[in-house]
Amino acid sequence: MAAKSEYSGYIVKLVIGNKNYSSWSLRAWFLMKEAGFEFEEHRIPLNTDSTNAEIAKYSPAGRVPILLLDDQAIWDTYAIAETLNERWPDKKIWPEDPVARAHARSVSAEMHSGFAALREAMPMNCRAMGRKVTLADEVAADIDRIFAIWTDCRHRYESAGEWLFGKFSVADAMFAPVVLRFRTYGINLSESASVYPKRLLESPAIQDWLLESESEIEVISQDETGQ
């Protein structure tokens, strides 16, 4: 049965892909779970003969995740985050301080549009552990930049809490798949960059996602890279 929001009467549904592979699905799902949204989850296995037709029932963009509010479809993780923020401001999924909020939006947008080398070399694969890939200069540069973001955020906001901006925010959801990628591919973390990934992996929502990813039976061959 679809989940009705206790705030507005919306029927709230989130359409996602495979939990093992779909990094963008994780971002939207984790944001909603960790922030305490009530919603129905609908999973569409990716890379099958019926995938495109199934997704097209909900969105013309042909991609997951898709947030459904009654009959309205919102696609793209960043658009989903902004819609949730507008409809449910009491959830406070962006920092309240305007300076911190602008900072959080900046690093979230950077994650949304950047780090192409890392994405290509290290596809998300929650079930795989101990995978190794060659860290080309472009990939190493992406990793260094992510470490710098995490270290800077924790230096600025650690007094307010254990997440990137103290309290949980959209920024944590945007970087969650990177943490899982580093876990899969055994990326060595400096002491300053290791505290935040540890905190994220301790989240019950992330633990549930990982557990459920292990029970999936689908295999997407192009995401089974590495040795």
- What digits encode the pLDDT tens for the residues 178-199? 999 999 999 988 877 788 999 9
Annotated domain spans of the chain = 3-91, 98-213
Q: Is a pLDDT exceeding 50 seen at residue 45?
A: yes
Q: How many CB atoms lie within 10 A of CB 110?
A: 15
Percent of the chain with pLDDT over 90: 80
Q: What is the mean pLDDT of residues 43-71?
A: 93
Q: Determine how many CB atoms are found less than 10 A away from the CB of residue 189.
A: 16
- Tell me which DSSP letter residue 7 carries: T
Third-level CATH fold of 98-213:
Glutathione S-transferase Yfyf (Class Pi); Chain A, domain 2 (1.20.1050)
The residue assigned the tokens 């055994």 is: 186
Token digits of residue 150: 């995490």
Q: How many CB atoms lie within 10 A of CB 220?
A: 17
- CATH 3.40.50.150 given to domain 3-91: no
Indicate if the pLDDT at residue 3 is higher than 80.
Answer: no
Whether residue 46 is predicted with pLDDT greater than 70 in this model: the reply is yes
Q: What is the mean pLDDT of residues 143-150?
A: 95
